[in-house]
Amino acid sequence: MKSFAAVACSAFLALVILVASIISLAGPWWFLHFHQDTVSDILTADSYNEYSLSNVHSVTTKGNANSVRDYSWAQYGSPQTADLFKMTKTMMVIGLILSILFVIVSLLRAVAPKMPHDQRHLFTSKLVNGYLIIHTILMVIFFAIAAYHFSSALPHKWQADAQASNDSGYCSNGQNDCGSFSGSNTVSMTFLNIVFSNAQLTWGSMRGWIWAEVAMTGSILAVVANIIAYVFAGQTDYSSLY
């Protein structure tokens, strides 16, 4: 029974991880919102950017003029930040490929009791269960790199790009490193070719990054489930449960 429960749990987690990785790749990972009510006492300035692994969606307001644009990372002009997003996308794509393979093998193992005896043994053996332990550990590694390296490195990369373009980024008091993946601040800065004082900034994670964490957590649970399945492999004839 323990082996059957672990196998069923692993198959369910495989589907959850696959869905989470797809949503993560498709959605925005981070946002930056800039706002100042008055600039030179004549206009309102507002900029809201959503950063996905493939592009940047930007909505900018200067006075009564609105601008909505989508940029590729090659067009955006922040090379260090762009490289981080590209690396993160690569990690997530590898995680997605591993997720697809995990779903296939997990579902085959789950329906193995209905297979002929020789095929059933193939998918319920310790060899297959051991392989899935290694497979899910790799998934944990790639999703962890994607989610946590991204969140720890982004403030450094973003600020370096801002300083290279003579903007002050979203740090105050001339700091070189924000060290904050999410938060808010009141800063004096150069933005949209205008010098702002006491501008309101907020920034933080979005659903793409959150779903990457879901995929990583699911992978950790899948490692546990597959260890249990490995320990009890061959000890339970759970074909009678079907």
User: Rounded to whole angstroms, how far apart are CA atoms 83 and 153?
Assistant: 11
Per-residue pLDDT tens over the stretch 134-191:
999 999 999 999 999 999 998 888 878 777 765 555 554 444 445 578 888 776 666 5
User: Rounded to whole angstroms, how far apart are CA atoms 21 and 58?
Assistant: 24
Does residue 62 belong to any structural domain of this protein?
yes
Residue by residue, what is the 3-state secondary structure of the chain? CHHHHHHHHHHHHHHHHHHHHHHHHHCEEEEEEEEEEEECCCEEEEEEEEEECCEEEEEEEECCEEEEEEEEHHHHCCHHHHHHHHHHHHHHHHHHHHHHHHHHHHHHHHCHHHCCHHHHHHHHCHHHHHHHHHHHHHHHHHHHHHHHHHHHHHHHHHHHHHHHCCCCCCCCCCCCCCCCCCEEEEEEEEECCEEEEEEEEEEEECHHHHHHHHHHHHHHHHHHHHHHHHHCCCCCCHHHHC
Span 5-31, average pLDDT: 92
Per-residue pLDDT tens over the stretch 74-125:
777 788 889 999 999 999 999 999 999 999 988 888 777 666 666 666 656 6
Query: In the structure, what pLDDT confidence band is assigned to residue 126 with cuts at 50, 70 and 90?
Result: confident
Contact between 85 and 76 under an 8 Å Cβ cutoff? The reply is no
Residue 190: partners with Cβ closer than 8 Å, 6 or more residues away: 166, 167, 168, 196
Beta-carbon count within 10 A of 136 CB: 28
Contact between 198 and 188 under an 8 Å Cβ cutoff? The reply is yes
Does residue 242 belong to any structural domain of this protein?
no
Does residue 10 belong to any structural domain of this protein?
yes
Q: Print the domain residue range for 215.
A: 2-236
Query: In the structure, what pLDDT confidence band is assigned to residue 37 with cuts at 50, 70 and 90?
Result: low
Q: What is the CATH number of the domain that holds 43?
A: 1.20.140.150
User: Rounded to whole angstroms, how far apart are CA atoms 50 and 27?
Assistant: 9
How many domains is the chain built from? Answer: 1
183 backbone φψ class: left, alpha, beta (φ>0; ψ -120 to 50): left
Does residue 68 belong to any structural domain of this protein?
yes
Does residue 152 belong to any structural domain of this protein?
yes
Asked whether the predicted pLDDT for residue 220 surpasses 50, the reply is: yes
Does residue 241 belong to any structural domain of this protein?
no
